[in-house]
Amino acid sequence: MVCGTSSGAKTPIDIYDFIGHEGARLVSYLSYAHPQPPGPDLGILVDLVATDRLHPTLGLAADWSQLDDVLAALQQRRLSGKAVLTIG
């Protein structure tokens, strides 16, 4: 589970959400407040996706040349999920 706070609303987490996942743990990742380079943490995220243990919600894939439109869509909350920009 990934919990974000872009809306400003608190994310409710209930202890019962963990039933059946007894080895689960909560790990924070704050990209803007991290004192070390993000490379190692991003590598962990890539590995989780590659091994099918993390399933990010993709709201939009677009070419890098559409950056302004994608940023506007994110700011106006027209996307549900992550935006991915491709190069080339």
Which tens digits make up the pLDDT trace of 13-61?
788 888 888 888 777 666 666 567 778 878 888 899 999 998 888 889 9
∠ CA 21-23-29 to the nearest 5 degrees? 95
Helix (H, G, I), strand (E, B) or coil at 62: strand
Whether the predicted pLDDT of 63 surpasses 70: yes
43 Cβ partners below 8 Å, 6+ apart? none
